[in-house]
Structure 1
């Protein structure tokens, strides 16, 4: 394992203000995190879940308040300075000097990470070519597009050949084409032997990109596993039915569904009923027949594959899409 940390914790204390005492905020509440060598591991959760704080602690930028373990073979808690040569970090902001060009930014990062001048220059050239930045290498970064800026930020984080790369919300603000291109570059890192730990609040990004992930909320792990295993543990499919009136747990609709053997679980959301089941295409006609037999009219119907949002909803009682 390239990351093996137990009980990671961080608490912040807000500043006192007039008529408002300081508050204690538990941002991360005892996370256990393991990342295998050569895998893409995701930390998925809503804004404020503790994702950025977690990554910043693992990247030695914020001192943990508690826990134990190693990152890149070095003790994170007693020897963070020994961790740093082995890792790369790309923040949400990117850490790019927009008044200088990509070449100057990457060269500076290489030198700061201890590469001799000649090696730093050669490595900078490799990064410019790898991220298709050579033609614009000396233009001020402020003149580049959002996708180009993210490529510069990635090159800065990778120029010293880290074995572990931390990416904090790497595709925020990118258009679909640039997001897809960046996903390909992240996969290339993994295929070249690097490990990648990224945070995201995008469901499709986590499902498509991550080999394994944990879902976090309020600084705690909700569930962990591969995207496929997590969704299958919830259900294969989700049928959403819409009715004209709000539902309750003991109304006629709920009583009908409770008698059906192929239903795993149900969840009421106002006038909507979500039904978690396997083989939805086969079960849906049977479901509608049961309502017809009891003369219950259904206003709207949708059938979808179960997603990580359904996993989050089942575990927390609210949708990840609505959580922010």
Structure 2
């Protein structure tokens, strides 16, 4: 019986394998037939087309706007520089919008002369005094509001503040070799600002027309613009360091004023005033005691002795 079952199982498995093999052969045959027909179709189409290269597709235009992105980057950089200069001016004056006569000091006039291309040797103290008291307010306003000139103008304002501090005249800075040449710093930054201003004039506005579509022109303009903007950033960092130096000088001024106050107040003799205070307290106690005695004696005299004496006189 077992042999019969095994024989039946073998027959069934053989039949199943034969069926599966037939299905596989049919599928492969259909696949190769389709591939052969597709190959014949492609060959026929190739023979029907004339010889020659296929027309190239035009490159798709890039949606990016490099000049627009560059303008945004430069605008943000300029805003940061302006904010830094305004912050320094606000700390110095409390109102960065005022460019009155107090701003027209010798360092401001020096920076203005460099900005205008005027020879520094041709400016004497007398002329500087006349210009300080009028005639340059509008020019100073234009100088201070220029995106590049503001750096030199703020540098001059920092130098003015340092020179006005009494602590700046201490020999401390000379003994420790930490005194900065204020005029030299103003001159260096002002001349650098003038050079960058002239470079921006040479660079001009962003290219337009067919130049704006030229990748080489656009990349060159972007490279030069970022280079000059980076120079301005470093110039502002130098200004910020100079403003930090002014804060140190101001702190020395505060310490000097504190020490002068302590020295002045220290002249008050504590022991002497403690003794005098105790003496005043004792005198006050003695005075109150005498007042009490006077009150008692007065009440005795007025209330008892005086009426008795008056009655005796009548008798």
TM-score exceeds 0.5 = no
| Higher fraction of strand | 1
Which one has the bigger helix percentage?
Answer: 2
